[in-house]
Amino acid sequence: MEREKFSYLHTKDSYETCSTLTADSFHSFTESKFLIRKKPNEDDEHNANAISNKISSSFIAMLQGVEVLCNLPILYIFKDTYQLHPASLNILISIIKIPWAIKLLWGIISDTYPIFGYRRKYYLMFGSGLCILSLLILGLISHTNISLTIFLLVVYFFGSALCNVIGEAQVIESGRKGSINSTAKNIAIFFAFRKVGFAIMHYLSGYLLSIMSNQHIFLISSILPLSIFISAFFVVEKRSYKKCKIEKQIKSIYEIIKTSYIQKLILFIFIMTSTPSSGSILFFFMANELQFTPKLLGKISMFQSLASLLAILLYMLILNKINIQKLLLYSTIIIAPFSLLPLLAVQKINIFIPNTLFIITDTILVEFIGELQSIPILVECSRIIPEGFESTIYSFLLSVNNFAIMVSSLISSILTYQLGITSTNFDNLPKMIIICCLTNIIPIIFLYNTTKLDNDSKAYRSRDKHILNSWDSESTLFDSQSYEIKNCEDIKYFITENGHDIPIQ
């Protein structure tokens, strides 16, 4: 086979890992950057960037807005109909969001077990169908059985998590051919659509709740999942994926996650997100003590989403080249004093300034900084995901984030109980706010990891370029490695560490 030099940054060939490689061979990929060169296929890029796919992923991005639209009705159902204690509500919210905490499982299933040869289309139909079914039933029943309500909410969150896994995989696939800035742009646009959906739904949730019942809101919410279900019929995807053994898929995933680069990302994401929050308690304080109306609560949530959208746009247009360590350090320091603003409303020392101003300012700044911190980390994650593992690895990283949110809710619930805070007793709420503020500074201690992360990232990419452009005149076969190629059509030859083409017969 005639060999030709090529550049990793400029080649039009696509590189992918075979999802049936053994653990040893995949270890060589993650640490030494062995790649499989795939026969060029001009349809691949067209498939990933099809307009119908972009429309589908845009709908999926906005799907979480349905959760936002239903959030206030859900809270009011549990608070008023079932009369739950604030600590119990925190635990219950954690339970119904378990499907989001185990997104990795849905990613593994969709990457490993294609349905009729497709890894995206039919899973999208199934997930959106579950969302439609659960919302329709929630809108048609009278909520007298808390177990049934919880079950239907779990079904909805399972369907939405599955749809989200597919949407994120589509975004990663569409950005694979582009530059780093292009990848950042694709992810930022996906999250921007999500925040636009959040902003619209936050406003509508408060407004609609003031003019209609909780059940009617659930029925209206089923419109967006229905749009996703219809768009799934038009998703463009190669029908060439084969089933792979899940054991080998898991081993390959383990080898990827075992790299120090990924581990540092996982550690920081978890620590940054798992600190306690006073958000649920403040909801009870605003609703019961300050007598905020549902419409006002909806507006506050809308401002929150707009702040997130502004953070995404700011990162996409200006801050996408800034050092991650500096961005995380400065943003954490800036937000710390502002997170104490609710104290002024709780202690009633607002000096003739409306309580809403303190609450809105706090929520806007916290949401803005939180989004500004998470987007660059997710962009870094997406850049090192090998082909064939888009759903799995990205879902794992976001599962870490969602699991950390559950841990945060659990810690918050324990603190709430220990401090004796109830839906009517807010005497120790100032202590809760101060504790949450102090714990939010903890991630700074672990910022040393991000310095190493940044250095690893540079070495990671530098090693790629060096290996892919190092060509020796002599042929060297694989040594002491177990390579297994099955069910991977179109693969023509390996590229070894020395740059040699090894034909596959």
Whole-structure pTM value: 0.63
The token pair at 243 is 């089933």
Neighbours of 244 (CB within 10 A): 21
Half-sphere exposure of 329 (CA within 13 A, CB side): 12
DSSP assignments along 345-383, one per residue? HHTT--TT--HHHHHHHHHHHHHHHHHHHHHHHHHHHHT
Cβ-contact 269, 400 below 8 angstroms: yes
**All domains in the chain, ordered by first residue:** 43-460 (1.20.1250.20)
Cβ-contact 383, 369 below 8 angstroms: no
pLDDT at 71: 82
pLDDT at 135: 92
Cβ-contact 353, 341 below 8 angstroms: no
Give Cα separations from 497 to 132, 194, 479 (angstroms): 50, 41, 11
Sign of the alpha-carbon torsion through 206, 209, 215, 217:
negative
Beta strands in 98-226 (DSSP E): none
Q: How many angstroms separate the CA atoms of 403 and 400, rounded?
A: 5
How does 23-51 read in b/e, with b if 16+ C-beta sit within 10 Å?
bebbbbbbeebbbbbbeeeeebbebbbbe
What are the counts of helices (DSSP H) followed by strands (DSSP E) for the chain? 21, 3
Half-sphere exposure of 3 (CA within 13 A, CB side): 19
The token pair at 331 is 């943003």
Q: How many angstroms separate the CA atoms of 196 and 213, rounded?
A: 24
Q: How many angstroms separate the CA atoms of 244 and 108, rounded?
A: 11
pLDDT at 82: 85
Digit-by-digit pLDDT tens for the chain (505 residues) are: 444 443 333 433 333 333 333 333 333 333 333 333 334 444 444 455 568 888 888 888 888 788 878 887 888 888 888 888 777 887 888 888 888 878 788 888 888 888 888 888 899 999 999 999 999 999 888 878 888 989 999 999 999 999 988 988 888 777 665 566 666 777 778 888 888 887 788 778 778 887 888 888 889 989 999 999 998 888 888 776 566 677 777 777 777 777 777 777 778 778 888 888 887 788 888 888 888 877 777 777 778 778 888 888 888 888 877 777 788 888 888 888 888 888 888 887 777 777 777 777 777 888 888 888 777 777 776 766 776 677 777 777 777 877 888 888 889 889 988 888 887 888 888 898 899 888 888 888 877 665 455 555 555 444 444 433 333 333 322 233 333 333 333 333 333 333 333 333 3
Neighbours of 353 (CB within 10 A): 11
